[in-house]
């Protein structure tokens, strides 16, 4: 048998998501940088230097060692979490990059 086998219950079911795999590391990186730049003005001034430095580490991409990249991601995710709900897309983008790049 080929094709999709689907069982669904409840209200509000719309359809099947197809071709949804992990993002490529490069696509996840671009998404994270865009989300971080959109969040920047919401970051308290006291955290902005660390945030900006961490974004620059991401922009350097593959030229950074894994430890430095992980520290930058941790800083960005931590600051994004502290600013509240508005930071949620950045936290999600960090998690996507960590997964796509195998940084867990």
Q: Model pTM greater than 0.85?
A: no
Structure tokens at 32: 């994270």
Per residue in 24-78, pLDDT (tens digit) is: 999 999 999 999 999 999 999 999 999 999 999 999 977 779 999 999 999 999 9
Structure tokens at 57: 């580490």
What element of type H or E holds 38?
A: helix 25-39
What element of type H or E holds 99?
A: helix 88-101
For the chain, give every domain's residue range.
Answer: 25-101
DSSP letter string over 5-19? -----SS-------S
CA distances from 38 to 19, 46, 68, 95 (A): 28, 18, 23, 17
């Amino acid at each position: 048998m080929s094709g999709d086998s689907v069982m669904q219950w409840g209200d509000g079911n719309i359809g099947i998501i197809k071709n949804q795999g992990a993002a490529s590391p490069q696509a996840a990186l671009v998404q994270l940088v865009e989300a971080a730049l959109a969040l920047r003005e919401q970051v308290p001034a006291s955290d902005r230097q660390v945030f900006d430095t961490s974004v620059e580490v991401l922009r350097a991409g593959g030229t950074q060692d894994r430890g430095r990249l992980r520290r930058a991601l941790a800083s960005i995710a931590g600051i994004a979490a502290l600013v509240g709900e508005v930071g949620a897309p950045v936290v999600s983008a960090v998690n996507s990059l960590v997964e796509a790049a195998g940084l867990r």
